[in-house]
Amino acid sequence: MSHTAIAAIAVVLTAVIAGGVIVAVTLTGRSASTAEAAAAPRNTTSGPVSSGPLHADTRMGAVRLTVGELPAMRAFYSDGIGLDVLAETESEVSLGQGGEELIRLVADATVAPRGDSDAGLYHSAILFPDAAALALSLQSIAERFPSSYQGSADHTVSQAFYLGDPEGNGVELYVDRPREEWEWIDGQVTMGSAALDPSAFIAEHLDDGDASPATMGHVHLSVGDLESAEHFYVDVLGFDVTSRADGALFMSAGGYHHHLAANTWNSAGAGARGSSAGLREFAVILADRSELDAAAARIAEAGLSATVTDDGITVLDPWNNVVRLRVAA
């Protein structure tokens, strides 16, 4: 592991819930050794060393999940996290904020559960406009779904809180620190995993906050191996590598800390997914049509099959995760 490796975000934690409010958390994690970190010179930069072909306006779109119990999942994402129901039928619910879909739930009672060591979704990460908006969502979770809480961490670039939805899909709720406070060393962003007290965070920040909507900040995948993940998401799709950790890879466009992450913590050696509950597809929103055309060319050059329509491209990653590339509306 290089001297720029971040702490692994596989943490052991204990949450104490009292009166519907998360009041304490103990968190431990693995960190790069001090000796290793000092082994090479540190060159501070303002972003990734090499910039990939994706425009800086690239961002993440909706995550679609196949679910078994639609009412319970709807309640978690709407009543718990605080997403608006944008549209719904008997078998699907679209949820988001500001009119933009962030999560779509698609019911299928016949689908098999995802295995613990399978590839798929590690977590979808909802980015809040400020700490007050995040605190309001956390307070709602503490009151309505306290058992969903799994942990928290100060990642230096962001403050993050981790949940599991009723069917075991990981969810991160987070707020970014200002970009000017992020540190880049040798082209990789510094991300830590320090303890973060959720109760103190809520008490400090629960206020009116920003009226801006939450967005899908990043998507974190469980994959079979990092080499294949880097080839597909970096070499073919065009993301930059922003950090490497023990068993994890972080990627972005435009100098963000990460729009995508992939890890093998639970899924090393996993093969292509079959039909199962969990991740159905996720979207990457590109800046314009020329970006979409360029991505289609890279996909074709890599010899991968893709479905091209007027509104985007659908392609499978090495584990049969469906990636939808589209242009902002």
What does the alpha-carbon distance between residue 280 and residue 65 come to, in Å, rounded to a whole number?
A: 5
**Phi and psi at residue 135, to the nearest 5°:** -60, -40
Closest to 150 (Cα-Cα) out of 118, 172, 132: 172
Per-residue pLDDT of the chain (329 residues; tens, 9 = 90+): 333 332 333 333 333 333 333 333 333 333 333 333 333 455 666 666 667 899 999 999 999 999 999 999 999 999 999 999 999 999 999 999 999 999 999 999 999 999 999 999 999 999 999 999 999 999 999 999 999 999 999 999 999 999 999 999 999 999 999 999 999 998 999 999 999 999 999 999 998 666 789 999 999 999 999 999 999 999 999 999 999 999 999 999 999 999 999 999 999 999 999 999 999 999 999 999 999 999 999 999 999 999 998 889 999 999 999 999 999 87
pLDDT of 17 reads 34
pLDDT digits (tens, 9 = 90+) for 197-213: 999 999 999 986 667 89
CA distances from 44 to 48, 136, 155, 190 (A): 10, 36, 18, 10
What does the alpha-carbon distance between residue 46 and residue 311 come to, in Å, rounded to a whole number?
A: 34
| Cβ count within 10 A of residue 70 | 19
Strand partners of residue 41? none
Per-residue three-class SS string for 9-50: EEEEEEEEEECCEEEEEEEEEECCCHHHHCCCCCCEECCCCC
Going by the DSSP 8-state scheme, the letter that residue 302 receives in this structure is T
Closest to 323 (Cα-Cα) out of 314, 296, 217, 306: 314
What does the alpha-carbon distance between residue 146 and residue 164 come to, in Å, rounded to a whole number?
A: 10
Domains and CATH numbers, the chain: 8-327 (3.10.180.10)
pLDDT digits (tens, 9 = 90+) for 2-27: 333 323 333 333 333 333 333 333 33
Entry field: residues in the chain: 329
